[in-house]
Amino acid sequence: MTNTKALNPGVLSDREVQIIELVTGGLTNEKIAEQLAISKRTVDNHISNILKKTHTDNRVELVRWALQWGKVCIDDVNCCSLPVADHEVVSH
């Protein structure tokens, strides 16, 4: 299933990406506010702005969007680390 509504991932601020990471971790807006030492209303506003910027309708779609664009990892799934190739030792 392709999300044709998805935007370029560069549209988000660092704070918005941080909030997406916490949403992906399963935190409620109240817990996000506590962790970031900001008000719940500020978190609510960030979430609303993020949903608009990403053209997603809810937290589940937002997490799917974040995974699609490589903004988050969940338990080492969707992480962008490249496998390390075995290097041959060259003698001089």
Does the residue 75 lie in any domain? no
2-51 pLDDT, tens per residue? 444 555 655 789 999 999 999 999 999 999 999 999 999 999 999 999 99
Does the residue 37 lie in any domain? yes
Rounded to an integer, what distance in angstroms lies between the CA atom of residue 35 and that of residue 65?
A: 23
Rounded to an integer, what distance in angstroms lies between the CA atom of residue 18 and that of residue 47?
A: 11
The domain of 14 spans 9-68
pLDDT in the model for residue 71: 78
Quote the pTM value: 0.71
Confidence of residue 80 (pLDDT cuts 50, 70, 90): low
pLDDT in the model for residue 6: 55
Does the residue 40 lie in any domain? yes
What CATH number should be reported for the domain holding residue 46? 1.10.10.10
pLDDT in the model for residue 73: 73
pLDDT in the model for residue 77: 58
Asked whether residue 60 carries a pLDDT value surpassing 50, the answer given is yes
Asked whether residue 52 carries a pLDDT value surpassing 70, the answer given is yes
